[in-house]
Amino acid sequence: MTITSFNPPVRTLMGPGPSDVHPRVLAAMARPTIGHLDPAFVHMMDEVKTLLQYAFQTDNALTIPVSAPGSAGMETCFVNLVEPGDTVVVCQNGVFGGRMKENVERLGGTAVMVEDAWGEPVDPGKVADALQRHPDAKIVAFVHAETSTGVESDVPALTKLARDHGCLTIVDAVTSLGGIPIKTDAWGVDAIYSGTQKCLSCTPGLSPVSFSERAIEKIQARKTKVSSWFLDLNLVMGYWGGTAKRAYHHTAPVNALYGLHEALVMLREEGLEQAWARHRRHHLALRAGLEAMGLQFIVAEAHRLPQLNAVTVPSGVDEAEVRRRLLEDFNLEIGAGLGVLAGKVWRVGLMGAACTAHNVLFCLASLEAVLGGLGAPIPRGAALEAASSRLAGERD
């Protein structure tokens, strides 16, 4: 077998992630590699921290990118803040709350589960009841933007509940950072983690995190060692933090950090509010088209994410065949359902560089062509007309 250089097909990525990477980010990653302790690289690291503080809307000094994907950001939060015997209230309304539970239990903690139906936001009333039943709870953990369903939960309400009961909060913002408002300091979030491959228009492989002073105090007051050497923030901060000489901890992914730096520069150039508005604007156009096609959202409008649209598969349609044809015939990727929603929904992403009017219209036209070819009873032309009308209305 002859193996040659890999040249991937050119796709339009409109699934749950990764999303399309902006050409500026790809160009930045192709720049010459330098040492991870090179003074020029250290200066760039400081800029990345400042830019992440802007993205998270925080003054937290401990705001850095973990050198691994979003799942490692999640584990960084739990492994540093949860000790054996700790009680943690974990909210689950989709796949990723279940991963939080797994982290707590592997660390020797007790996970008190607050469960809501998939597609529903976390119910603050249920969280309040759980905190009253478990006054020894030390942390409340929940997902801001649940990628498996496209639902947004109320961060300010949940963080206030936690603080009123003396708890820290851990927030999953993997799908939300850069796409919808995140106000880490104003909302009183203690630990938050995200990923680079969604609304930041960057490649997978890094996980931005931020920790409040209250969280740092808990880390420093631990009675036991952090069980992960690589993710122990007491050690990592020797490399990422402060003004003193950087201590070698690991070889940072230099070129990947070039890419994140460029993505964050672009976010600041656009402006956070403008980025949030762009995601909202194009979601409304996509929604108009999908609904004109007869497709229905599983999340109520008040709690619906603009960047992750979960829609039901029409009766009698083979959802996997639709995704296969979109990929093979149009080089367009959309996502399947997970867990209890497997086979029942498609997840259509509008994230970062993929969140454009062109992609909205391209996705609708491609989906209409495939569904029509499979004999699904959908009105021809209605989707594009509805989306185009919505986009034109936004310009007026």
272-395: what fold? Aspartate Aminotransferase, domain 1 (3.90.1150)
pLDDT band at 395; cut points 50, 70, 90: low
Token pair in block for residue 122: 């976390």
* Domain residue ranges of the chain, discontinuous segments joined by +: 23-268, 272-395
pLDDT band at 162; cut points 50, 70, 90: very high
**Per-residue pLDDT reduced to its tens digit, 329-367:** 999 999 999 999 999 999 999 999 999 999 999 999 999
Count Cβ atoms below 10 Å from residue 302 Cβ, excluding itself: 7
Q: Would you say residue 396 has pLDDT above 60?
A: no
Q: How far apart are CA 137 and CA 90, in angstroms?
A: 10
Count Cβ atoms below 10 Å from residue 273 Cβ, excluding itself: 9
Q: Would you say residue 200 has pLDDT above 90?
A: yes
pLDDT score for 243? 59
DSSP β-ladder status, 207-211 and 191-193: antiparallel
The predicted model scores a pTM of: 0.96
23-268: what fold? Aspartate Aminotransferase; domain 2 (3.40.640)
